[in-house]
Amino acid sequence: MLDGPHAEGARRVCRGTERMMPRLSPLRRFLCAAILGLAPAGAALAQGSGGGGVPVTTDQVRIGPVPVEILANGIVASESVVTIRTRVDGQIERVLVNEGQMVRRGQPLFILDSRQNQALLAQQEAQLARDRAQAARAQSDAQRYQSLRGESFASQQRFEQAQADALAAAATVRATEALITQTRLNVEFATITAEMDGQLGAIPLRAGNFVRQAENTAITTLTQVDPVLVQFAVPERWLPTIRAALRGDPPVVRAHAESDPGPWVEGQLVFVDSAVDTTTGTILLKARFQNSDGKLWPGQYVQVMMSPRVDPNAITVASAAVQTGQQGRFVFVLTQDGTARRRPVEFLRTAGDRAVVRGELAAGEKVIVDGAQRVTDGSRAVERNVAPTPQRVSALQ
């Protein structure tokens, strides 16, 4: 701060330039105005304003329907992951797919050598023909002895023996038929097919490898990628709101991967856990998303936004207008006569680049956005016709 002879000399120089003030540079105008005790006017001149107030930008207060948005971090999970194993013993004869390939339900994946089972099937079919012939002869004998017994030419014991032989032959036929059914299944199991639509994982075994059912070795995995689930957790304070929303249509859930430049994808809430996690104070939720374009990938971390309800009369202001002081949150309202008035508000949450607040604000009132740090309650302010730059909010409270 200037004092003594130096201060007086500076004042004398500045007084001599008062009439030339408009032609001076903004910095020299500000310095001279400060020296002469005209700092507020000098600040206004430095900013290019002729109104004598602090230049500010404003944004109007809005009152209307605003969705209640809950933001969380989630992870994409497949609804179904199938580990593909062999059901029969055999050597892999052909691999019909590639690693990572998308396959459809019923599509052949691997073919095992089934010649041994086919030979066994031929043997059992021949045995079935023999058993059926023996069953037919036993049935004829039973009928013959039944007629002879009626004419007293055959004993009761011989008739009963013929009936037992016929029943045993029929049972043998059924047993052989069951063996044939089992062998045919083994022949079918030699062709391993996809159990659902999905994407294949790594294939560690190739043609020529021998696989056994008892070893329980995984040939590959099949992961469902359409639709997919997104798992996320929200604070338990949201539980009443979510449960109330579930009484109607399922709440809309949006998800977005950080590396994805495209728009958010929409799904529906399908699961609310039966208990709150006592260690974190959160509750687990799941949403289902149609994923035909493959935007969501199992295991991927995403941002999740859920809108369980809409607040019909929410008061919103630009997020940058909300200030924090010793007595809490507040905004400056620019009145019609150009005076800044401090209004206390309660910050509720954010919605996009706007803050949802509670306080004595009316629709259409102007709150100071840019320049709020340079005004005080009752000070003069001048509105500039420059729209404030929207500020993105990275988290919702």
Domains and CATH numbers, the chain: 4-50 (no CATH), 55-66+312-383 (2.40.420.20), 69-78+225-309 (2.40.30.170), 82-108+194-223 (2.40.50.100), 115-189 (1.10.287)
Q: Is the pLDDT of residue 23 over 70?
A: no
User: Tokens 């021949």 label which residue?
Assistant: 126
Per-residue pLDDT tens over the stretch 298-346: 999 999 999 888 888 999 999 999 999 888 999 999 999 999 999 999 9
d(CA 21, CA 16): 10
Cα(292)–Cα(299) distance, integer angstroms: 17
Q: Which two tokens stand for residue 19?
A: 């009439």
> Is the pLDDT score of 28 beyond 70?
no
Q: Which residue has the higher pLDDT, 113 or 391?
A: 113
Instruction: Say if residues 104 and 199 touch (Cβ distance below 8 Å).
Output: no
pLDDT greater than 50 at residue 153: yes
Percent of the chain with pLDDT over 90: 60
Residue 225 has what pLDDT?
A: 92
Q: Are 268 and 215 in contact (CB under 8 A)?
A: no
Can you tell me the distance from the alpha carbon of 143 to that of 108, in angstroms, rounded to the nearest whole number? Answer: 51
Residue 259, pLDDT > 90, answer no
pLDDT digits (tens, 9 = 90+) for 355-380: 999 999 999 999 999 988 889 999 99
**DSSP 8-state class, residue 380:** B
pLDDT at residue 38 tops 70: no
Amino acid 158: pLDDT: 74
Its pTM stands at 0.63
Q: Hey, how many other C-beta atoms are within 10 angstroms of the C-beta on 6?
A: 9
Confidence class for position 249, pLDDT limits 50, 70, 90: confident
Mean pLDDT for the stretch of residues 256-278: 91
For residue 200, with 0-12 CB atoms within 10 Å meaning exposed, 13-18 middle and 19 or more buried, which class applies? buried
Task: Check pLDDT > 80 for residue 147.
Answer: no
Mean pLDDT, to the nearest integer, of 97-103?
94
How confident is the prediction for the chain on average, in pLDDT? Answer: 84
